[in-house]
Amino acid sequence: MDMKTRCIKCNREFEVDTYESSSVKCPLCGKNTVVRTPQQLIAADKAAKFGCLGIIVVIGFVVWGLISCVSSCNAERLANGDLIGAKILCENRINAILKAPSTAKITFKSQDKVGDKSYRFSGYVDAQNSFGVTIRNRFSVEMLYVGNGNYKFEEFNFQ
Ligand SMILES: [Zn+2]
């Protein structure tokens, strides 16, 4: 009966004289390998298969985690709005009252979620007036999320 083992380096089968010796040089790739019995090879294959399965399961959990996180974040945003959405509307409203919004540089000093659906922003904006002179205005804004992606300005100070 052929006594075969498989190289741990190149994974090819070759014959051995005995399973007694534990170490042998692989005649196919020339690297040192371990002599494994057929039973050990089957066990190793099983372990490799389960290793793969484990990795697949882990990836599955990560993907599932990401999806459920994204969907719960979306649900949270739909219910209460979010800082980024509120900030964009805040910037839009500031730009709308400027003479030259393309020259505007808005600097936020604070941007906070101050309640379940309330957002507060403050800072200043440097922009040119109708004479082309750069003027600095300060702003403090408080917004309330009213649903459907809409926010209401509770407070809009711009001076
Ligand atoms: Zn080999």
How do residues 99-135 score in pLDDT, each as one tens digit?
Answer: 999 999 999 999 999 999 999 999 999 999 999 999 9
> Which of 32, 51, 77 corresponds to the end of one domain?
77
The pTM of the whole model exceeds 0.75: no
Residues with CB under 5 A from ligand 1 (ion): 7, 9-10, 26, 28-29
> Which of 52, 77, 102 corresponds to the end of one domain?
77
- If you measure from the C-alpha of residue 8 to the centroid of ligand 1, how many angstroms do you get, rounded to a whole number? 7
Q: Total domain count for the chain?
A: 2
Based on the fold, state whether residues 55 and 108 are members of the same structural domain.
Answer: no
- Domain housing 150: 83-158
Greatest extent of the chain over all pairs of C-alpha atoms, in Å: 99
Q: What is the pLDDT of residues 49-63, one digit of tens each?
A: 888 888 999 999 999
3-state class (DSSP) for residue 126: strand
Based on the fold, state whether residues 154 and 89 are members of the same structural domain.
Answer: yes
- If you measure from the C-alpha of residue 40 to the centroid of ligand 1, how many angstroms do you get, rounded to a whole number? 17
Report d(CA 58, CA 132) in Å as an integer. Answer: 59
Residue of higher predicted confidence among 50 and 138: 138
In this structure, what are the phi and psi dihedrals at residue 116, rounded to the nearest 5 degrees?
Answer: -55, -40
Residue 134 CA, distance from chain mean position: 40
- If you measure from the C-alpha of residue 6 to the centroid of ligand 1, how many angstroms do you get, rounded to a whole number? 8
Residue 148 DSSP one-character state: T
The reported pLDDT for the residue numbered 1 is 63
User: Band of the pLDDT at 21, cuts 50, 70, 90?
Assistant: confident
Whole-Å CA distances, 54 to 11, 42, 68, 117, 135: 22, 18, 21, 42, 62
